[in-house]
Amino acid sequence: MPTLVLLPGLDGTGKLFANFLKALDPCLAPKVVPYPPDLPLGYDELEALVRAALPSVGPFVLLGESFSGPLAIRIAARPPPGLLGLVLCVTFASNPYPHLAWARHLAPFLPLKSLPRWMRAPLMWGSNSPSSAPRQSERAMAGVAAEVVRRRIAELFAVDETAALEEISVPTLVLCAARDRVVSKAATMRIMRGIRHARRIDIDGPHLLLQTCPQECAAAVLRFIREDTTGPALAGPAVNQTL
């Protein structure tokens, strides 16, 4: 079985993968690529960091969660040796809030650490209910410098990897949360239009899908790896499923 390389969401720590990693088949040999919690890096710098951390020997599948989706798309569009497949989880190819593009220049001034929890909930972990956010999500974010989070928010407001989608030829799985209030259906459809051979699976859960539905996500990823990454990418139209 190939290695599963995981790129984390906005926190960048990889700590929020814990439940998902426990649910995975151990034969996948997962590898998490964390981002520096004290260096405000943009997508260009993070891409270089991720490429340097990818397995140099043996096949692997790349999973990009939320904030890291554009990074995973970039890498799959110019695939390194050994890349067998791509998993895009609750993510986007371009700014998921196009009506807020103007706010990019305000991101450096966001008082993230002093915002009340009810305001941080939708911004940082994608929940409109602060009490429903997993405790580990707030702990993970607490260890990341405020200027780092602000830089990442500014980056996602400006990112546009739509053109790169059409360059992706490896088999692709798009995991969507049926109750996602962070990434819109329009953002998902942009990905599906760009990667015509992608397989889409909708799982009944919120934006923190890997954290709240780890078993369902792990099963979907394992099935994708076993069924779709053993041959060339699908040439036909997208395949949609609901779990």
pLDDT at 237 over 60: no
- The alpha carbon of residue 159 and the mean position of all alpha carbons in its chain are separated, in whole angstroms, by 14
The whole-number pLDDT of residue 172 equals 98
Query: Would you identify the CATH topology of the domain 3-97+154-242?
Result: Rossmann fold (3.40.50)
Q: How confident is the model at residue 114 (pLDDT cuts 50, 70, 90)?
A: very low
Residue 96 phi/psi, 5-degree rounding, is -75, -10
- For residues 144-162, average pLDDT: 90
DSSP states of 130-162: GGGS-HHHHHHHHTS-HHHHHHHHHHHHH-B-H
pTM as predicted: 0.85
What percentage of the chain has pLDDT greater than the value 90? 59
Per-residue pLDDT for 242 more than 90? no
The burial class, CB within 10 Å (0-12 / 13-18 / 19+), for 199 is buried
- The pair of structure tokens assigned to 43 is 């997508």
Strand partners, 174: 88, 200
Per-residue pLDDT reduced to its tens digit, 32-88: 999 999 999 999 999 999 999 999 999 999 999 999 999 999 999 999 999 999 999
Domain ranges in the chain are: 3-97+154-242
- Could you tell me where the DSSP H helices lie in the chain? 18-23, 43-53, 69-77, 117-120, 135-142, 146-158, 162-165, 185-194, 209-212, 214-228
- The percentage of the chain sitting over the pLDDT mark of 70, rounded to a whole number, equals 78
The rounded distance, in Å, linking the Cα atoms of 149 and 159 is 15
Query: What are residue 121's DSSP bridge partners?
Result: none
pLDDT reported for residue 99: 60
CA angle 114, 35, 131 (to 5 degrees): 40
Is residue 132 over pLDDT 80? no
d(CA 10, CA 120): 12
Pairing of strands 31-32, 60-65: unpaired
Higher pLDDT, 123 or 221: 221
- Where residue 109 falls among pLDDT bands split at 50, 70, 90? low
Which single residue is written with the structure tokens 């966001």?
Answer: 110
- Residue carrying structure tokens 């209910």: 129
